[in-house]
Structure 1
Amino acid sequence: MEIIIKLSQFLLSLSLLIILHELGHFIPAKLFKTRVEKFYLFFDVKYSLLKKKIGETEYGIGWLPLGGYVKISGMIDESMDKEQMALPPKPWEFRSKPAWQRLIIMLGGVTVNFILAFIIYIGMAFAYGDTYIAMDDLKDGLLIENPVMIKAGFKTGDKILAVDGTQIEKFDNDINMKVAMGKEVLIERNGVQQTIKLPNDLINQLSTKTEKIPIVSIRMPFVIGAIAEDSKNTALQPKDVLLSLNGQKIKYLDEAKTILENNKGKTIPATILRDQKETQVNVTVNKEGLLGVKIGGLGMDSLEKLGYYKVSTEKFSFMESIPVGIEKGKDQLIGYGKQLKMIFNPDTGAYKQVGGFAAIYNIFPETWSWEVFWNITALLSIMLGVMNLLPIPALDGGHVMFLLYEIVSGKKPSDKFLENAQMVGFVLLITLLVFANGNDIYKAIVGR
């Protein structure tokens, strides 16, 4: 069932992005009276799953879910229709239109991608608001368990004040990405501020670890999730919260580890919170320094009731949601630009983590959440827009590059040159596609 939910979200998001991107080309083409021969979701190599011709355009769904396309008459594109290009230009063809109209047609897809992302972020701000924990409320700092971050110089209890000079005021879903993309982090440790410089290949180091441990996370109480069958601690029950061990108060799970390690093989007193009442029990620590229990968790509401954190939720009116959503979209756009910059810098090793369709599939959760779905779709829309703007022939950005040259110089590149450039771009895209999806396969084989 989980696979079906993930696949459904993946296909729905991908289909929505492809259709709207191609619609961005289709609408201005029709407005400028340019003939559109095909409008397809997915590629119809040899045959299509579904097709219907309405007017001069054939609409359909292909069988190969690697994208989609609109075939515009008189345009050198992935179809490489040399027979059509050999004929004299017709008034309804793309090549017969003024350069400024062709430029608008080519920019239509990425424009829709960016607009869609900002609309989604505005809608999410209005529907869900903004839920976070203020950094000032993290009195005991953050939990640092990722070995890469520990090696970089972080410790549990550190408070993050700023990343690359930008103040961090909230602990939310974006904080891990902000730290991962940063160059230096200003922290406070035991009341003293200090700057930690991050290694250039941080992304690569984080991604090559088999255990996916968060970069930073909030410190959690020691909550009993379940009791192992061979555990001697039958006095414990699920949802118990440990408050002390061997006479030492513990507020967080990470504080208990040292105490348990120092009491291997012993039976020690403990204080637990059960049904909002403190209870004294004895617990047995095994030879591995464990209690023989699975760790449980508490929701943010429960953590707030127990006095651990104050969870803040801001609600926005529709008009208030507009600047909030725009700011969110701008941050994500800048963040993705930084990621691309790191990918093209060999020193970071980030290129090793480039993924294909499997990587996109895996970012969707196994349970359905519209909030998560729209958040991922908005980010993918930004990624699709930015990638299509790259000045690579066969991408929208390649066409835009040649059109800008034509507008500035007044000279139009020959059809033969554009055909050759399209072929080079197509080979480059296939190479990138093989590399990205090859990375997915490699990670699946080696388990990381």
Structure 2
Amino acid sequence: MPALVLLGAQWGDEGKGKATDLLGGSVDYVVRYQGGNNAGHTVVVGDQKYALHLLPSGILSPGCTPVIGNGVVVDPSVLLSELSGLNERGVDTSKLLLSGNAHIITPYNVTVDKVTERFLGKRKIGTTGRGIGPTYADKINRVGIRVQDLYDESILTQKVEAALDVKNQILTKLYNRRAIAVEQVVEELLAYADKLAPYVSDTVLVLNQALEEDKVVLFEGGQGTLLDIDHGTYPFVTSSNPTAGGACTGAGVGPTKISRVIGILKAYTTRVGAGPFPTELFDEDGEALRRIGGERGVTTGRDRRCGWFDAVIARYATRVNGLTDFFLTKLDVLTGWEQIPVCVAYEIDGKRVEELPYSQTDFHHAKPVYEMLPGWNEDISKAKTFGDLPKNAQAYVKALEEMSGAPISAIGVGPGRDETIEINSFI
């Protein structure tokens, strides 16, 4: 089983960082294959908490090589700052590999992102304002700047000129902002070249050679399935493909190499930003989930919207990703509820619907149909085996497994690296 994909099965923030870190000691490479510093992973090692944004979680595992693939968009200042912060804490970051084909988030991408969101007002998407979407748009429009361009000043200048020809027109005439000087952008980007050079690599070649040598490679997605640009709750989505197929294009590895696809599920549901959310709670239960679960975005700092577990989107994630396993996180957060509602279907225009509606209109009008499951009061944070869990907690896990369509192979019972029940080995 040389290649595994690990991804979010909801709207992101499911605990992928912990899951990746748990596997990090058993894999040779951990690869981020899409997204940018709009994604955040929190990893707790002992009494140390690490907040990672661009870097793969495997960077905290000494024997693992962390890789930023070609499908990621990279803000050089954020990457270098993150590396510096880890170095100061004694983490060795020297093994990091950065794809020369990854696209760079330029200063003008960040500017365009922020002014566009402000201009949209009530119609805003809820982006993080970090330039992710505009950078992916430049990539598709073939005016993007890639990491490798930092090492050819002539090509870099030509590409920045081409991008700013249009963007300066938009900034000055539509948004009443000052034009951005080509020379200023080129100078700023060139300043990163020497600092990034030790990491830049042909990651497609490296990863495929590793797989040919039977090395274990873990592909780590940012965000989650329901934020996928093609398969998520469009237009309230990210600008890339966090789903399993994105690992192939975002890392340059063929689908026949992937042997296991692991979906990360919270024992309840959260999302950040605008968009439909059928099980969202606006009452004391929602506030309790937010408080107990520490539901604040790692990257954005925004409070997450909270709701009960949604089995409809879990089934959808299983199908669209071809999930082979689930890692259920934050089961401990549900301790203390007498009964726990689980959304098993939707009601749309008076009809019961058990699969995710493809229509945006229908999904916006979907009302959750709940089944009540008995809760538990026992502290489960010290549980080491499935049998250590209270009977009602075991029943809750089994019910979610049956509703979601794939086996639950691990359960998070606390934030720490060692607070995990492993039912079936992923590797």
Same fold (TM over 0.5): no
Pair member with larger Rg:
1
Interval containing the TM-score (normalised by the shorter chain) = under 0.3
Bigger relative contact order, structure 1 or 2 (CA pairs below 8 A, ≥6 apart)? 2
Could you state the TM-score of these two structures normalised by the residue count of structure 1? 0.25
Higher share of residues assigned helix: 1
